[in-house]
């Protein structure tokens, strides 16, 4: 039988044949059953004779010989070269970058890429706005404290981008755009640059008059010098004239000065490839593959049936192992 069962029953102070029934009623009786699957022991049917005659002749297969290696191994003598300048070799494109506040520098900074956008990091001036992390200058150049937000002067955002669309690199041209709030046309915007943000030495790049009152966009372009970590400074100043206001850090009650640091890709040529330490191989190498061994065994039909013991049910094979009831 393939599906059998076991019953266990406990009964209190019962005697005689009456309590030998499979189902005995009593106030303290407990009866439980467990079903089990049982493997059969019927012999498997005999294997049918083969439909094709056995192969009596041995099969011998030959492996094709490996082709000879005729190419010579020669040294590489041409160096890999790039453009001029110093710094890190130029490759890849980091794409547009968004500035984040750099606590070590004290200003927003961008990783290497094709552009750098400060978004709202510079919005306002001093406590007007207020400007977060003010003064946002590499040398702690302080802002003016007088006026009202977006009634008086402020630098609100700086955007720097490569004119080529590739990563900003040494020798390439970039454009600096500043979004500013002008009190009127008597305001002037100053653009400065330094090749080393860690030790700034500022160079004036442009001085542009505000086109009118309110939010304005002004820009200038210049060529990046050598240096991996450079910086841009934008400053707005009211009614200033002469050489006195061309200082990188100018004090005034309505002055706002902000810096942005940028990583710049170098344009140094890669060093030439060194000559080989071993002589080239001039003779061709010919490798022969060993032939495959012949197959000499005959393929004969199976005529003996697979048999088991007596009994009925499913053929017996394998071992199911211990089981847990569910």
Looking at residue 118, its pLDDT comes to: 98
Q: Consecutive 10-residue runs of the chain (326 residues): their mean pLDDT?
A: 90 67 86 87 60 51 51 39 34 84 98 97 96 97 96 98 97 98 95 98 95 97 98 91 75 95 81 58 54 53 43 51 80
Looking at residue 171, its pLDDT comes to: 96
Which bin fits 83, alpha (ψ -120 to 50), beta or left (φ > 0)?
beta
Interatomic CA distance for residues 87 and 71, integer angstroms: 39
Reference 113, options 91, 89, 97, 101; nearest CA is 97
24-80 tens-digit pLDDT: 888 888 999 999 888 877 665 565 565 555 445 544 445 555 554 444 444 333 333
Beta strands (DSSP E) in 128-278 are 154-162, 173-182, 187-194, 203-209, 214-223, 229-238, 256-263
- Global confidence as pTM: 0.56
Cβ contact 201:247 at 8 Å = no
Looking at residue 274, its pLDDT comes to: 62
Interatomic CA distance for residues 221 and 94, integer angstroms: 21
């Amino acid at each position: 039988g393939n599906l059998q069962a076991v019953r266990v029953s406990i009964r209190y102070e019962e005697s005689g044949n009456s309590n030998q029934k499979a189902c005995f009623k009593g106030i303290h009786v407990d009866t439980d059953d467990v079903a089990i699957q049982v493997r059969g022991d019927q012999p498997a049917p005999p294997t049918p004779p083969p439909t094709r005659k056995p192969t009596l002749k041995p099969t011998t297969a030959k492996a094709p010989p490996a082709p000879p290696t005729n190419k010579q191994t020669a040294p590489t003598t041409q160096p890999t070269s790039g453009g001029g300048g110093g710094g890190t070799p130029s490759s890849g494109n980091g794409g547009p970058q968004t500035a984040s506040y750099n606590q070590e520098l004290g200003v927003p900074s961008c990783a290497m890429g094709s552009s750098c956008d400060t978004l709202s990091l510079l919005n306002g001036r001093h406590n007007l706005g207020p400007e977060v992390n003010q003064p946002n200058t590499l040398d702690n150049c302080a802002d003016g404290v007088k006026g009202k937000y977006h009634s008086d002067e402020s630098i609100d955002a700086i955007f720097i981008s490569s004119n080529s669309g590739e990563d900003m690199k040494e020798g390439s041209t970039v454009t600096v755009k500043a979004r500013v709030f002008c009190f009127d046309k008597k305001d002037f915007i100053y653009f400065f640059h330094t090749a080393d943000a860690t030790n700034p030495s500022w160079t004036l790049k442009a001085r542009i008059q505000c086109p009118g009152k309110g939010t304005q966009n002004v820009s200038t372009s210049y060529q990046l010098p050598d240096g991996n970590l450079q910086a841009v400074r934008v400053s707005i100043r009211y009614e200033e004239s002469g050489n006195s206001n061309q200082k990188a850090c100018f004090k005034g009650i309505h002055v706002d000065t902000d810096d942005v640091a940028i990583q710049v890709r170098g344009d140094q040529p890669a060093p030439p490839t060194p000559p080989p330490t071993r002589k080239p191989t001039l003779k061709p190498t010919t490798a022969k593959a060993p032939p495959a061994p012949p197959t000499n065994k005959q393929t004969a039909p199976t005529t003996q049936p697979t048999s088991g013991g007596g009994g009925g049910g499913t053929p017996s094979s394998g071992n199911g192992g211990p089981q847990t009831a569910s």
